[in-house]
Homo-oligomer: A and B are copies of this chain.
Amino acid sequence: MNAGLLLDLYELTMAQSYFVYKAKTRATFDLFVRALPRQRSYLIACGLADVLDYIRDLRFRQDDLRYLRSKKLFSAEFLKYLERFRFRGDIWAMPEGTVFFPPEPVIRVTGSIIEAQLIESFLLSTLNLQTMIASKASRVVNASEGRGVYDFSLRRTQGTEAAIKVARSSYIAGFAGTSNVLASKLYGIPASGTMAHSFVMSFKQELASFLAYSSIFPARTILLVDTYDTGKGIANAIAVGLYLKEQGHKLLGIRLDSGDIAYWSKLARRMLDKAGLKYVKIFASGNLDEAAIQELLRKGAPVDNFGVGTKMGVSVDAPFLDMIYKISEVTDEEGNFLPTMKLSEGKITYPGRKQVFRVQDKTGRFVKDILGLEAEKLAGKRLLVKVVDKGTIVSEPSCPQEIRRSVQKGLLRFALAMRQPLSGYRYPVEVSRGLASLRSSLSRQLAKRQNG
């Protein structure tokens, strides 16, 4: 990955200014989400594996340096510095799959102010996408109440890299598989697929297309029944199911992709059962999200598996998170700590080197989080763990399968209402006394300092 230049120009111009004025200054930055999107009760941390790859490989190659030189913005000394650049700082992070809430830091970076600033945009872009998708996908999983949900979003994600990350993030959140073959290969996610309308349309008769496909994949056939007339499509699928049965095979399923899915799935279930094809599963797809799935289940639609594409794949109701990366502490050349915060209208931040403490009751149920200072001794599990120590990765990421299991287990320890997609549940996040007092004293200091 040539990621050196994956940054905003100002990160480089600020870096050159720091190089001149603050080469020895160290700083701490927090990556966090300012506020939950409407209709989210929690977020699931995702993307750290890619951040660690980035940190490991980050450097400026000769062609990057040539390009920067051509801009006539940077000094020879600074370019020399970039040539030798490696990330040497510390990173604390919530492990992937951790449930979290605003304004808890998901990642905390401490390093030279230059290196901590240079990685900003990559970290934000990566965490924003994957956390957003895992959080949306988790809602879809909750809505599906134990049925299988499959990622069908490749064609509608915001590019192909996004598609691969969506497959991984949604799998971590509990999806059962993906249609995306490359993602399946890269992450060991089960690959899933049915057939397209074009397949049916390329034959003169729907039935001929069903027979052709099932002859090649007798044990893996899911027939798409809505290309022409859904009722006749179901009847054709039943004919093929009975034919396969005679041959000693089982038709895996039928797929409904349009129309009134509740109506058609009920009819299909009745017709299939009556024909002795109780084992044939019903798949539904087409514009599904957590609300549509809940509505189908409310209507009693006997759907066994859902294919979910676009609306999850771009997190359509919240296509970005209000995720930011803010400086919280500076250690100047003389070694003085200087906690810091922003005072601009509506955008005030929390100062200091922070930690998140998750408090549980006697039964192991999570009852609240406390946003405090790393130095504080508070009850509760510390959610930020050290993953990079002086530039070296000290905590290898888990595999997606393991993260997926930890998400499923972790979510069960929160109140049930949090997992109900439309409940509007809010989990309590408190600010520790130490942090609150640091914030108010700093607020007064800063105002004075800027006035003085």
Does A38 reach chain B (CB closer than 8 Å)?
Answer: no
Does A420 reach chain B (CB closer than 8 Å)?
Answer: no
Asked, given contacts A201-B330, A327-B202, whether A12 binds B126 with beta carbons under 8 Å apart, the answer is no
Q: Which of the 9-residue segments A148-156, A384-392, A393-401 touches chain B?
A: A148-156
Chain A, 289-317, contact with B by CB distance < 8 Å: what is the 0/1 string? Answer: 00000000000000000000010011110
Please name all residues of chain B whose beta carbon is closer than 8 Å to the beta carbon of A243 when the two chains form the complex.
none
Chain A, 147-186, contact with B by CB distance < 8 Å: what is the 0/1 string? Answer: 0000010111111111101000000000000011110110
User: Is the CB–CB distance between A258 and B347 below 8 Å?
Assistant: yes
Complex copy number for this chain = 2
Please name all residues of chain B whose beta carbon is closer than 8 Å to the beta carbon of A163 when the two chains form the complex.
6, 125
A204 and B212 alpha carbons, distance in the complex (Å): 74
Does A9 reach chain B (CB closer than 8 Å)?
Answer: yes
Does A84 reach chain B (CB closer than 8 Å)?
Answer: no
A94 and B291 alpha carbons, distance in the complex (Å): 37
Selected contact of A191 from candidates B71, B162, B215, B346, CB within 8 Å: B71
Asked, given contacts A5-B182, A340-B202, whether A446 binds B13 with beta carbons under 8 Å apart, the answer is no
Chain B residue nearest in CB terms to A257: B344
Does A24 reach chain B (CB closer than 8 Å)?
Answer: no
The winner among A6, A120, A122, A320 for most chain B CB atoms within 10 A is A320
Asked, given contacts A155-B124, A449-B204, whether A320 binds B326 with beta carbons under 8 Å apart, the answer is no
Asked, given contacts A159-B159, A310-B320, whether A258 binds B346 with beta carbons under 8 Å apart, the answer is yes
A257 and B124 alpha carbons, distance in the complex (Å): 18
The winner among A10, A182, A204, A228 for most chain B CB atoms within 10 A is A10
Please name all residues of chain B whose beta carbon is closer than 8 Å to the beta carbon of A262 when the two chains form the complex.
none
Please name all residues of chain B whose beta carbon is closer than 8 Å to the beta carbon of A181 when the two chains form the complex.
5-9, 12, 68
Chain A, 346-370, contact with B by CB distance < 8 Å: what is the 0/1 string? Answer: 1100000000000000000000000
Asked, given contacts A14-B195, A73-B220, A155-B120, whether A9 binds B204 with beta carbons under 8 Å apart, the answer is no
Q: Give how many A residues have a beta carbon under 8 Å from the other chain's beta carbons.
A: 110
Q: Nearest chain B CB to A257's CB is how many angstroms away?
A: 7
A25 and B121 alpha carbons, distance in the complex (Å): 48
Q: Which of the 9-residue segments A15-23, A271-279, A371-379, A430-438 touches chain B?
A: A15-23
Does A406 reach chain B (CB closer than 8 Å)?
Answer: no
Q: Nearest chain B CB to A386's CB is how many angstroms away?
A: 22
A154 and B193 alpha carbons, distance in the complex (Å): 33
User: Is the CB–CB distance between A17 and B182 below 8 Å?
Assistant: no
A446 and B197 alpha carbons, distance in the complex (Å): 14
Does A415 reach chain B (CB closer than 8 Å)?
Answer: no
Selected contact of A344 from candidates B196, B230, B343, B346, CB within 8 Å: B230
User: Is the CB–CB distance between A259 and B344 below 8 Å?
Assistant: yes
Q: Nearest chain B CB to A43's CB is how many angstroms away?
A: 15
Given contacts A13-B213, A113-B202, A206-B450, 9 further A-B contacts (CB under 8 A): A5-B182, A9-B193, A27-B198, A122-B160, A158-B158, A159-B161, A201-B342, A202-B340, A228-B447
A-B contacts, 13 of them at CB < 8 A, read: A10-B179, A14-B196, A17-B213, A64-B185, A71-B191, A124-B156, A128-B155, A128-B156, A129-B162, A201-B330, A202-B327, A257-B344, A310-B320
Q: Which residues of A contact B (CB under 8 A)?
A: 2-3, 5-14, 16-18, 20-22, 25, 27, 29, 64, 67-68, 71, 73, 113, 117, 120-122, 124-126, 128-129, 132, 152, 154-163, 165, 179-182, 184-185, 191-199, 201-202, 204-206, 212-213, 215-217, 220, 226-230, 232, 257-259, 310, 313-316, 319-320, 323, 325-327, 330, 338, 340-347, 446-447, 449-451
